[in-house]
Chain A
Amino acid sequence: MIVPLIQRLLDRPGPATIIVVAALGATAWGVAHVPRSVVLFMLFQASVLLLYFARIPRGLKILLTAIALGVLMPVLGTINAYYMEIAIQVGIFVALALGLNIVVGLAGLLDLGYVAFFAVGAYSWAIFGSPQANLIFGGSHFPLSGWWFFVFLFVGVGVAAGAGILLGLPVLRLHGDYLALVTLGFGEVIRVLANNLDKPINITNGPKGITPINRPPIFFEPLLRAIGLEPNPYVIYPLYLYALVLLIVGVTVLVNRRLEDSHIGRAWEAIREDQTAAQAMGVPLVRMKLLAFACGASFAGAVGVLFSAKQIFINPESFTFMESIGVLAMIILGGMGSIPEPSSGPPWSPCSISRSSRASRSGSTSSATRAR
């Protein structure tokens, strides 16, 4: 009775705008005044999701999304730092889900070892952004300063894409179930390697993990001081990471959108629908599948670099098969092959409140790019 009513109201621009603004305002006000109530924070996220579903003029929707994610969320995050942490995690998983969506959703190649690429990216920065690299190369040139983090975002992309091609080359002749199995095996191999490569040369420091990993510098700090603000690192840093995550998610969504509508994206969809027919139509199967693997992997690589900088500490436990399945569950939940849906999937993934709150927010992130 009530649901259809709300549905009908959300379909009309006027009432929809009022409802959404009221919901956002009320929940944000609630969270601000009762910061410890997780229920209220989840309601806030739900209202961001509501924003995504509401039929509001496109420009207004983008504006509201920007306010919700760019103003309300950071403010609430400074009131209760835990929520900021959740928001950053949500962002990381959204970007991962979007990357996997290319491989599974668009190209139709079931990849059960996706977390391996995430691990490759994370370890690439973890090794060079910490004293760990000294153990490999000798000397004491490492850790690299935080500025290199931005370079490594791209290095992570490159290394992970390389790993994707490396995996893609042998498995291209397989399809369906076999592919799933081989990628699963690959994911396990990477994890076992990370777990055991502390000898003969100590590369990953084994199960003990790598720490401390350098974080990107707050380059605008002098600017803040110049205008007379004394930034508190415990407040400013999560905000900064959040902005970085938002940026990466934004870029990911944008790239996804552009790819989907390009001839590459169409080729992927053709392969997904019918491999033989696609080949007959002149789609270069091998190259397109490799490209899908490399693209999907490269997002995971960049996010991995960010992840290791955020955590300061990583070890192989972060890259288990469960994570691959979790990301897969997110894109299935959201609907494979679409962009907003995978990014709205993460919030409901199982385990914890922090996870459960994840995605309603992300849903609205992408709604900015695909307003209904």
Chain B
Amino acid sequence: MDFELLIGIFPQVLIDGITLGFMYALIALGYTMVYGVLEFINFAHSEIFIVGAFVGVELLLGMKAAGWLDALPWILVLLLILVAGMAVSGVLAVIVERTAYRPLRHAPRLIPLISAIGVSFFLQDAIRLFESLWRNSFNLVYPTMEALNERFELSSTIDVSLKSLVVTAAALLMLWGLYSLVNKTKIGKAIRAVAEDQSAASLMGINVNRIISLTFLIGGAMGGGAGVLFGVQYSLINPYTGFIPGLKAFTAAVLGGIGNIPGAMLGGLVLGLLESFAASYLSLLTGGAFGAEYKDILAFSILILILIFRPKGLLGEVVRERA
């Protein structure tokens, strides 16, 4: 075993893992917030995430065609697509809640879940249809922003691209924004109250439906922002790309304790790091017998193990059973 190589790539793997981890954390927030309020897995969240990525790519391609992409400073462009992606995804999440979940709120538990799966497939194919008609292809590539590809070489084996720095910074900023919104403002207090006890919250004069919509708006916006960052980081997207990251993000949410916002962030980071290490080290450590393709299995095994041994997650509280 090449020990020097193992040590040598370590910082690089760490950096990649952190970038991936923050991405997961952003998506996981959407799952965790909705679960906290409604105790229901928003299966369509992975598609809301990828819609954000598509809004970003459409805007970028449009700007490129108009020649603005090189004229405007990159930070402005990035900010623009982030805000647009967040807005569209947030509104979409609210619409989905209104049409697909709200009518089923008092149905048995499995029913909204199945409805969410339906929404998820509907959105996948709706994006596919739209992009096929509009651009003749549903596999889209983010146009390169030259400035973002700059790399800082720290040593001969390690370099950090400006892209992953920006992605991490944006993710941190969004996480901080959400954290202060939920913990420092009146709206955040209302969200927490509804998550705690819906009927008591409504007795206190909180409009529960509005807060639930708001939760979807915020969660969807976080997912959309994550989608844009995902596109900027990995470039290639198609309507089905969102599914696996969505599943992983849910794993992250469960890992951190579902319904718990700092937990989702922690879970995302842990999962991102684990996956990044698995992708790089599995094949080295097993002499090539098990390659990077087993990283997905690792993520799901973690999900199963966590659910068995610590169902409440790393930071979670005991989940009470709903009658």
Contacts and interface: CB of A to CB of B under 8 A. Distances in A.
Interface of A: 104, 108, 110, 112, 170-171, 173-174, 176-178, 180-182, 184-186, 188-189, 192-193, 195-196, 199-200, 321, 325, 328, 332
B301 A189 contact: yes
Interface stretch (B62-70, B140-148, B291-299): B291-299
A189 B297 contact: yes
Interface string B279-301: 00000000011010110110011
Given A199-B289, A325-B121, A182 B297 contact: no
B113 A177 contact: yes
B247 A185 contact: yes
A197 B65 CA distance: 46
A212 B254 CA distance: 43
B307 A325 contact: no
Contacts, number: 70
Contacts of B6: none
9 nearest CB pairs, A to B: A185-B300, A200-B289, A177-B41, A176-B109, A170-B308, A196-B293, A110-B110, A189-B297, A189-B300
B40 interface: yes
B173 interface: no
15 contacts: A104-B110, A170-B308, A173-B308, A174-B307, A176-B110, A177-B41, A181-B250, A181-B254, A182-B303, A182-B307, A186-B300, A188-B300, A189-B300, A192-B294, A196-B293
A192 B311 contact: no
B169 interface: no
B114 interface: yes
Q: What is the predominant secondary structure among interface residues of chain B facing chain A?
A: helix
B117 interface: yes
A110 B297 CA distance: 21
Given A178-B307, A181-B303, A325-B121, A196 B294 contact: yes
B114 A328 contact: yes
Given A176-B110, A180-B41, A332-B114, A195 B254 contact: no
B79 interface: no
Interface of B: 40-41, 109-110, 113-114, 117, 121, 243, 247, 250-251, 254, 288-289, 291, 293-294, 296-297, 300-301, 303-304, 307-308, 311
A171 B311 CA distance: 11
A173 B305 CA distance: 12
Contact of A178 (B117, B289, B311): B311
B296 A192 contact: yes
A174 B307 CA distance: 8
A174 B308 CA distance: 8
B110 A192 contact: no
B295 to A, nearest CB: 10
A342 to B, nearest CB: 14
Contacts of A196: 291, 293-294
A170 B309 CA distance: 10
Contacts of B300: 185-186, 188-189
A325 B117 contact: yes
Nearest to B117: A325
A261 B279 CA distance: 50
Contact of A170 (B110, B117, B304): B304
Contacts of A170: 304, 307-308
Given A181-B250, A188-B296, A110 B113 contact: yes
A195 B294 CA distance: 10
Contacts of A195: 293
A113 to B, nearest CB: 10
B40 A185 contact: no
A182 B305 CA distance: 10
- Residue in A177, A188, A321 whose Cβ sees the most chain B Cβ within 10 Å: A177
A178 B250 CA distance: 10
Contacts of A199: 288-289
Given A110-B110, A181-B254, A173 B304 contact: no
Contacts of B303: 181-182, 185
A171 B113 contact: no
A174 B304 CA distance: 10
Nearest to A199: B289
A184 B114 contact: no
Contact of A180 (B113, B296, B301): B113
A372 B247 CA distance: 44
A276 B275 CA distance: 38
A193 B250 contact: no
Contacts of B296: 188-189, 192
Contacts of A110: 110, 113-114
A58 to B, nearest CB: 33
A267 to B, nearest CB: 19
Given A171-B308, A177-B41, 8 more contacts: A110-B114, A178-B254, A182-B304, A185-B251, A188-B247, A189-B300, A196-B291, A332-B114
Contacts of B288: 199
Contacts of A193: 297
A76 B304 CA distance: 49
A184 B307 CA distance: 14
A193 B303 CA distance: 17
B114 A181 contact: no
A328 B40 CA distance: 19
B297 A184 contact: no
A170 B307 CA distance: 9
B297 A192 contact: yes
Nearest to A170: B308
